[in-house]
Amino acid sequence: MSNQQFEQDLRNKIDQLDKNMQPQRDLWTGIEVALSEQHTTKKKPYLAIAASVMVVGLVGWLGLKSDIVADNSPQLVQTLTQQHQQQMQGLLVTYADAPALTNDWQQQLDELDRAADAIKQALAKDPNNPALLKMLQQVYQQQIDLVEKVHAPGWQRI
């Protein structure tokens, strides 16, 4: 069959696409909650923020000092991991009484855990790689973001 036929067929199918699809669940309720949340003071654990800033700063500085990473990578990974665990514990305690707004957040947390483990294994084999250290920090940050999002509906997940 010719290219012309394909183009015509594709054009017809594009023209027939539904441009007014409706979501399966009610989205307005969540939006309304989020808009109300924007007016209230966002309760954020100051300790977690401080720890986060410290970890980001540490990794950022070390990104510029690859020789230091090479010499100290195992200790840095350990420090990063310890700080992250403390930060996560603090967050989970803070949000212990807050309802989680999605069902699969713990599964997502586990997936990120596995990702972090994979990076740590890669770092054990390649300690001279500051990019891996940054990736580890990013995965940890994603875990923090995830916990905050599912417990504080002011942002993406409602």
Query: Contact residues for other proteins (CB under 8 A)?
Result: 1, 3, 5-6, 9-10, 13-14, 16-25, 27-28, 30-32, 34-35, 38, 112, 115, 135, 138-139, 142, 154-158
Least Å distance, CB 6 to other proteins, is 4
Least Å distance, CB 158 to other proteins, is 5
Nearer to other proteins, 13 or 125 (CB): 13
Q: Is 23 left (phi over 0), alpha (psi -120 to 50) or beta?
A: beta
- How far, in Å, CA of 98 to CA of 86, rounded? 19
- How far, in Å, CA of 139 to CA of 132, rounded? 11
The two structure tokens encoding residue 87: 């930060």
Least Å distance, CB 93 to other proteins, is 26
Least Å distance, CB 13 to other proteins, is 4
Cβ atoms of 95 and 151 within 8 Å: the answer is: yes
Residue that the structure tokens 């183009």 belong to = 7
Nearer to other proteins, 52 or 134 (CB): 134
